[in-house]
Amino acid sequence: MAAAGVGKASVFRWAKLGVMPAFETVYVRGRYARWPLHAPAQAAWVDGKLQAGWTFEEIRKALARGEFKP
């Protein structure tokens, strides 16, 4: 998520709120989250919407309409 300029805690919270895709937990010398390849782009998109004043409900609806294209 560093590539998207978004903090780790934010991305995990956003996943719980339904505005980020689900991640897979993998165990390789520790516990890690494996995200889909489009996750950094989606994180940047969500961050942009939040910066523009959108609510999480508005973002969820936009995602359901297909406004984010990976």
pLDDT in tens, the chain (70 residues): 777 788 989 999 999 999 999 999 999 999 999 999 999 999 999 999 999 999 999 999 999 999 999 8
Q: Is residue 70 part of a domain?
A: no
Using alpha carbons only, how large is the chain's radius of gyration in Å? 12
Question: Does residue 29 sit within a domain?
Answer: yes
Decide: pTM greater than 0.85: yes
Tally of domains within the chain: 1
> Which domain does 17 fall in, by range?
2-65
Q: Is residue 51 part of a domain?
A: yes
The rounded distance, in Å, linking the Cα atoms of 18 and 9 is 14
How far is 13 from 34, CA to CA, in rounded Å?
A: 15
Residue 12 lies in a domain: yes
